[in-house]
Amino acid sequence: MSPSIPAQQADAPGGNNDGQAVSFTRVPPHDLDAEQAVIGALLLSGSPEAASFRYFAEILDTGIVAEEYYRPAHQTIHRAVCEVRHAGEPVDPVTVTAKLTERGELSRVGGRSYLHTCVQAVPTAGNGPHYAGIVRAKAYRRAVIESAQRILEYAYSETGDEGEVRDLVERQLTEIVAGVPGLHGAPPKVGDLYLDFVADLEDVQDGKQIGLTYGFADLDAITSGMRPGNVTVVAAQSGVGKSTFALNAAVAAAKTGAKVMFSSLEMSATELMQKIAAAEGKIALHHLTHQGGLTAEGWETVRRLGPELFRSLPLRVYRPDGASLGDIASAARACVRDGGLDLLAVDYLQLVEVEQGRSVTREQAVASVSRGLKNLSVELDCHVIALSQLNDDGFMRESRAIKNDASTVIKVERPDADERESPRAGEVDLVVEKNRFGPTARVTVAAQLHYSRFVDMAHA
């Protein structure tokens, strides 16, 4: 984090009569007294024998990191405190001095005497968490200023097109809303990750759901659900039911409380609502789409779905005005800013457009969309379901790039699609062709397409 920003021009109050602006340098927001108090409180309370020991953990639990201090010396001392703590030693002026000496940084922070100055600056260690909150608030304001400055500099540079400018602005705004923008600490050590790893491992061994549910028990068991930062590709030929599967999964995840956005380039919001109502109300889809199709009982079901489902379901449907990846990404970031996003479904890959030159092939363009959705899943810490069209031979178009970006690839097959008298009429195979978190497999579910839904065979 830069300690300063470019000088700003302003008219000084009561300035020169000639009207010329007087320049001055704005000092970024900071509070050195609060920073000293945080350091001092850590040094006072870091030993298990100290009466104030519990405040040490409370200070660190605020999330404060070295990069949030304005003064570089305080950043250096905070890192030394954390290193001593991770080594399992008591944190006090003696041990931290030894660590700074070992790293050759003691003189740079003002020597041993400055550590004692920080200790003396603490009114009471119990207020340490409050002081840390002040430091973090100032750091946040500095980061916001830097984000705004970055946007201004890019806009003034006149480089890039409108889409690139918008993408930069949205990313900066999303970071601002999500936390301290541009603040990157060192990656965690494996020792810090161990407890979370063990907790996840216990969930796996106990058979607990790890990711968001697809809505199908066997599929969840094989894949452990949909995890943030990953992509599930659902592939099928036209008319087999890939959109139905994806919409069913989106609703199932939303019913658990997950925040979901379903982006369709084929269906309008009205069509998506019709499909959800048919599936959840067990109303024949054609009754919802044709004049006079609804009975009195059907109308009562639709009315009941309002308060019982739709008004509380954290599911958004979105049909972009265009068909660009930038439009979808923009809407997804808006969801993050307005409450969060756990699952994004995109129907479907081959319809999404990206900026491309004349020499770019269709395969390269789709690969760019696939990579863009993968990056978006990581950026927004959500799972992405990306639908993909299969050709008549059952092969995924542009399959190599799409499969490379996916953690899970599910091919939807209907045995009765070409054989109406098939003994497996009404069945659908979810063929898991790639599964980064488990085995490949074939899961059979029941197709109730008149209700626009698939269900587990046990519930058919």
Q: Is residue 200 part of a domain?
A: no
The reply to whether 79 and 215 lie within a common domain is no
Residues of the domain holding 367: 208-459
Binning pLDDT at 50, 70 and 90, where does residue 17 land?
Answer: very low
Q: Is residue 452 part of a domain?
A: yes
187-240 pLDDT tens trace? 677 877 788 788 878 877 777 767 899 999 999 989 989 999 999 999 888 888
Binning pLDDT at 50, 70 and 90, where does residue 155 land?
Answer: confident
User: Which tokens hold the place of 8?
Assistant: 């700003």
The reply to whether 342 and 426 lie within a common domain is yes
Residue 352's pLDDT is 82
Name 226's Cβ contacts closer than 8 Å, sequence gap at least 6. Answer: 211, 212, 213, 214, 232, 249, 253, 343, 383, 385
> What one-character-per-residue DSSP string does 156-186 give?
HHT-S-HHHHHHHHHHHHHHHHHSSTT---P
Whole-number percent of the chain with pLDDT over 90: 32
163-189 pLDDT tens trace? 777 777 877 777 776 665 555 556 677
CATH number at residue 285: 3.40.50.300
The reply to whether 125 and 237 lie within a common domain is no
Instruction: Quote the Cα angle for 298-299-303, to 5°.
Output: 120
The reply to whether 447 and 352 lie within a common domain is yes
Residue 23's pLDDT is 42
Distance between CA 57 and CA 47 in Å, rounded?
11
Number of structural domains the chain divides into = 2
Rounded to 10 degrees, the C-alpha dihedral 98/103/104/107 comes to: -60
Q: Is residue 202 part of a domain?
A: no
Binning pLDDT at 50, 70 and 90, where does residue 3 land?
Answer: very low
Q: Is residue 17 part of a domain?
A: no
Residue 95's pLDDT is 93
Among 184, 219, 238, where does a domain finish?
184
21-54 pLDDT tens trace? 444 468 889 999 999 999 999 998 888 777 788 8
Q: Is residue 46 part of a domain?
A: yes
CATH number at residue 157: 1.10.860.10
Question: Above 70 in pLDDT, residue 14?
Answer: no
Q: Is residue 198 part of a domain?
A: no
